[in-house]
Structure 1
Amino acid sequence: MKSRMESPAIIMPDVSQALQALGKALFASAEKTAIPSRTLFLSYLRASQINGDSVCVELHSRNALAAGETTERLLAVAAWRETEHFNDAERAALALSESVTRLSDREDPVPDKIFNEAARHFDEAALATLIAGIATANLWNRFNVSTRQIASVPAGK
């Protein structure tokens, strides 16, 4: 398998720098608003799974592990509704991630039920951070999927 071209983020270094700064701002906001980084990584992982972005699936899985996430929970993210591995706030974040990622799949892309459940667990600043993070993950997914970026997992790991 071969990429179609370099990632747009590589070709346009100013864009890459801006996105890196955005990522740092999101995690700073998450810390300030008490969103666990693991929750962000789970949300980003779920968006990347839906979008078929192997680069980001690998990246967010590794980052989540480094942040203390368990392998069992990472393996269960794709089937989060059918497992007891996640608490109510994490479930709300995963549901929101799915809705924000699948905007064209239904007439009301982010139903009140999903939004209100997320708002029940996250205050406005935390919810803004979560939404901006999910949107950013989706942007990276679109860069990687459209150009067929390849996850570079070393052999035997």
Structure 2
Amino acid sequence: MNQRMEYASASPEPMKAMFALGSYLERCGLESSLLELVKIRASQINGCGFCLDMHTKDARAAGETEQRIYLLNVWREAPQFTDRERAALAWTEAVTRIADGGPSDEVYEQARGQFSEKELTDLTWAAVVINSYNRLAVSFRITPGTYKVGQFKV
């Protein structure tokens, strides 16, 4: 599979806005480990090889364990995740699969039990941003395996 184009170079202004959102999320107060899990899980659902490569590398570099990365696809069955992480993952899945009806009341209540209104809003922005990046990378066939840790830090 060959990369179709370098979308960031073709239209740099929207990328600046995406980087600004990412920069905000890095300092919004949500745990960076939680944000990486959200990015990995949404990328798994969306089949985005480039983003999976990037965020598993970033998660490892930040101290995430191999076991939790391997089990993320089956997080409901794995006891390695906290209640807060489970709520975030359920929320992320529902936001990512919005065509299935969006987050149910049950998923919302689970998330609200773990996150303040601001945190849940920021968590939703994190899901929105990674879903956007997934759609760009998949659409333009960005090559997985080429990312270096810290390559896109803003």
Q: TM-score, normalised by structure 1?
A: 0.89
Give the secondary-structure state (helix, strand or coil) at the position aligned to 1:82: coil
**Which among 79, 94, 102 is matched to residue 99 of structure 1?**
94
* Residue 18 (1) aligns with residue 17 (2): yes
Runs of 4+ in structure 1 displaced over 4 angstroms? none
Give the SS at the match of 2:75. Answer: helix
Measured in 2, the distance between the counterparts of 1:44 and 1:134 equals 7
In 2, Cα distance between the equivalents of 1:9 and 1:49?
22
| TM-score, length basis structure 2 | 0.90
Identity, in percent, stands at 39
Could you tell me how far apart the structure 1 residues matched to 2:146 and 2:77 are? 29
Match in the other structure for 2:38: 43
Structure-2 residue corresponding to 1:137: 130
- Cα deviation for residue 23 of structure 1 reads 0.3
Distance across 1 between alignment mates of 2:121 and 2:103: 14
Match of 2:68 in 1: 73
Tell me the C-alpha RMSD between the 2 structures. Answer: 1.3
Measure the CA separation in 2 of the matches of 1:36 and 1:110. 22
Q: Distance in 2 between matches of 1:79 and 1:131?
A: 21
**Aligned partners of 1:128, 1:135: CA distance in 2, in Å?**
10
Give 1 or 2: higher helix fraction: 1
**What amino acid is the match of 2:56?**
S
1:2 maps to a residue whose letter is N
- Following TM superposition, by how much is the alpha carbon of 1:153 offset from its aligned partner in structure 2, in angstroms? 4.2
The CA deviation string for residues 26-50 of structure 1, in whole angstroms up to 9 with x for no partner, is: 1111x3xxx2111111011100000
User: Between Structure 1 and Structure 2, how many residues are aligned?
Assistant: 147
